[in-house]
Structures are given as C-alpha cells and as structure tokens.
Amino acid sequence: MKTILVVDDEKDIREAFKEALESEGHYNVVTARDGADALRIVSEGLKPDLILLDLMMGGMDGETFMRKRVDVPTLTKVPVLVVSASGSTEIKTAEVNADGWLKKPLDLDFLLRSVREKVDFETA
C-alpha cells in the first residue's frame, strides 16, 4: 500500500482524487485542505510516498508549502506532483522545484499513470 497525500482547498477535488485513487485498490489517500494542514498531518507521523499539491489555495499556498518542505526531513525525498489549472503550470513546477505536474481538468488514466510512475520509480 502506498500513501498519497492530496493537498487542495477544494473539498470536491480532494474527494474526487481520493475516490479515483483508492478505487485502484493499492493506494491509501490522505487529504489536506492547504499547506499548513499537510505539514500538520506529516508532523503527526504520516509518511507519504507521493504528494499531489495544488498551488493556489486559501491559507498556506503550494509555493509556501514547498519552501517549508525543505525543513521537514520526512518530506525532502517525497516526490511532489503539482496539480494546477493555471496556464503556466510547467514554469511554476520548475520554480517550486517539484517533480512533475498535472493540469486540471485532468484525465483519470493520465492521473493513474503519473502516480504509478512516480510511486513505483521512487520505491524501486
């Protein structure tokens, strides 16, 4: 079982991700409503194998989370996929030093493939 942390301020998006990924059977999905929420969950002992991160969020946004992540030892090696509706997702991804990106609205197959690649590669 791989643990995926989904960080998004939209409740429906969080739920949609959880639904789609958990129905695959081998992913455990934990959700956070913003960066601060995610950091709190991690500090409580969660060790995610992958983080799906929204950039534009009320509360702590994705960019701030990425800066803070550097100071959390359990998170430095965890791959991050940026999930964004912005037109300049690629640039943002490079800027925040993330490992890949997914553009909203995303295709389910593409989501599963990207997640599988990241998780399998990192654990191999």
- Residue type at 50 in one-letter notation: L
* C-alpha to C-alpha distance for 18 and 13, rounded to whole angstroms: 9
* C-alpha to C-alpha distance for 50 and 4, rounded to whole angstroms: 5
How many residues lie near another protein (CB under 8 A)?
Answer: 27
φ and ψ at 105, to 5 degrees?
-75, 130
User: Which residues have C-beta within 8 Å of that of residue 93, sequence separation ≥ 6?
Assistant: 82, 100, 101
Question: Is residue 22 within 8 Å of 4, Cβ to Cβ?
Answer: no
Query: Which span (14-22, 37-45, 69-77, 115-123) binds another protein, by CB under 8 A?
Result: 14-22
User: Which residues have C-beta within 8 Å of that of residue 94, sequence separation ≥ 6?
Assistant: none
Query: Which span (36-44, 69-77, 103-111, 113-121) binds another protein, by CB under 8 A?
Result: 103-111
Our finding on whether 87 is near another protein (CB under 8 A) is yes
Q: Which is nearer to another protein, 111 or 119 (CB)?
A: 111
Query: Which span (11-19, 45-53, 65-73, 114-122) binds another protein, by CB under 8 A?
Result: 11-19
Give me the least distance between CB of 3 and another protein, in Å please.
19
Our finding on whether 58 is near another protein (CB under 8 A) is yes
Residues that bind another protein (CB under 8 A): 10-13, 15-17, 19-20, 23, 55-59, 61, 83, 85-87, 104-109, 111
